[in-house]
Structure 1
Amino acid sequence: MDRYVHHELRSVYTASAALAVAVAVTTGVRGTPMTAFGLGRFLLCVVGFTVVYTLLGATRLKWVGEIRDYEAAVPLEAAPENAVSLRRHPLNWWLFTAMVVPTVVFAIAWEPWIALLPLWWVLAWSGQAWLAADWERRHGRILWRGHDEDAPWKLSYSPGPARRETTSA
């Protein structure tokens, strides 16, 4: 099993590495992906789109909201013993390959700015990790993926760490 927040962060790390490799290779072969003015507009659009996407994910809307999936999670008795560690496995190599190869091919063969597309995934997965971490903190639960072999995307939860009471001295 895999902690949901760690799964999203692993995807962020993988997309960041894919972005770095794609930009480096494209810059080496075709030159810079875009001008400074074009890069500013591109970043503004990507960040704006990601903010809207993340805010929609924070709703309970049927096809875009993540909160409904968190609330539909199946309870577990305790945290799983065989959880995949983010520290030991920070990258998803299959996802890295699946992101780098087409990005570099299209960036070199078609348009160099395509090398910057993994940035959207970095920001989108960062937003999903933030949503999940915020939900876990608010509800005192830890979300997990992989409890169902037939549907590994379905979520379950275990009780979170006990909250500490703060006292004034």
Structure 2
Amino acid sequence: MDRYVHHELRSVGTASAAVAVCVPVTAGVHGAPLDAGGLGLFAAGLLGFAVLFTLAQASRIRWLSEVLDFEAAEPLATPPAAASSLRHPVNWWLFTVMTAGTLGAALAWEPAAALFPLWPAAAWLGQAWLAAGWERRHGKVLWRGHDPDRPWRLAVSPRPLPRTATGAPPE
């Protein structure tokens, strides 16, 4: 099982790594993907997309809401052992697919396509922020992968009690 917030942050890291590979390769072949004016417009569009997408996910609209999925998560009897996302910071399958597709589009069609992975990364970052806030407000932890037949389904477990600096439970 994988903690939902860690899964989303790992996806952001993977998309960022794809951009880190695609932009220099594209710049070496075609020059800079965007000029200074285009970069400002791109950044504004990316920020606007991230905000609107996260607000749609935070809504209670049936087909858009991520919050409804959080609330419908199946409860787990015992919380699973949390695996650190630092051990696997990149999803290699997603990195390979995203990098190959992005490089193909950037080299064959439009150099600005080298920045495409930033769009899903912005959406995933908003989903991670939304899930972290939901977990904090509800005192629960969201998990993915508890059902092998439907790995996208979410499960929820109680948040473990915080520990002191010595590792002892609080009094």
Task: Place the TM-score, normalised by the shorter chain, in its bin.
Answer: over 0.9
| 1:146 corresponding residue in structure 2 | 145
Structure 1 stretches lacking a partner, 5+ long: 165-169
Q: Distance in 1 between matches of 2:143 and 2:152?
A: 9
Residue 114 of structure 2 is matched in structure 1 by 115
Aligned residue type for 1:49: F
- Matched residue, 1:36: 36
Say how many residue pairs are matched: 163
1:106 aligned partner, one-letter code: A
Aligned to 1:21: 21
Once the two structures are superposed, the pairs formed by residues 42-81 of structure 1 within 5 Å of their partners are 42-81=42-81
1:167 matched residue in structure 2: none
Task: Kindly provide the amino acid, as one letter, of the partner of residue 17 in structure 1.
Answer: A
| Runs of 4+ residues deviating >6 angstroms | none
Between the two proteins, what is the percent identity of the paired residues?
A: 61
- What's the TM-score once normalised by structure 2's chain length? 0.92
**SS at structure 2 position matched to 1:9:** helix
Could you give the per-residue CA deviations for residues 137-167 of structure 1, whole angstroms, max 9, x where no partner exists? Answer: 0000000001111000000011002379xxx
Alignment of structure 1 residues 89-168 onto 2, 5 Å: 89-162=88-161
Normalised by the size of structure 1, how large is the TM-score? 0.93
C-alpha distance in structure 2 between counterparts of 1:140 and 1:46, whole Å:
31
Structure 2 residue runs of 5 or longer lacking an equivalent are 164-171
Partner of residue 2, structure 1: 2
Deviation readout 1:89-136 (Å, 9 max, x if unpaired): 111000000100010111011110000111112211110000000000
How far residue 80 of structure 1 moved from its aligned partner, in angstroms, is 1.0
